[in-house]
Amino acid sequence: MKTKKLLNIFTGLGVAIIALSAAWWGVVYHFVSAQNGESMWASLSCMASLSADCNFLRAMGWLRGINPYEPLLFWIGVTVLLMSLLLKNSLQSVEEPRP
């Protein structure tokens, strides 16, 4: 029973980390895109990866005094969420009685 509760906590933690990462991305790229005259949705790929364009936009934010967005937080959240969901699924298949 404790394992299920712990896995539920880790599932919520993964969702919370992804939400925090999305909020951080939104704040950084909102200011940078307003300065650039572009839509912040044009840089949606920067949430999960760093390209040369993303690094340029991050540097623009850093020059404005905004902490640059790091996609590592997003990937940590995705990893925690996926691992907890996979463990929940495997735990359910082990606990279910077979006919």
Which pLDDT belongs to residue 96? 66
pLDDT (average), residues 70-88? 94
- What is the Cα–Cα distance from 7 to 30, expressed in whole angstroms? 34
pLDDT in tens, 13-65: 999 999 999 999 998 888 888 888 888 888 888 899 888 888 888 888 888 88
Radius of gyration of the chain (CA): 18
Q: Is the pLDDT of residue 1 over 70?
A: no
- What is the Cα–Cα distance from 74 to 46, expressed in whole angstroms? 11
Q: Calculate ∠ Cα 91-10-1, nearest 5°.
A: 45
pLDDT in tens, 86-97: 998 888 777 766
Q: Is the pLDDT of residue 6 over 70?
A: yes
Q: Which DSSP letter does residue 39 get?
A: -
Which pLDDT belongs to residue 4? 85
- C-alpha dihedral over 65, 66, 68, 71, to 10 degrees? 180
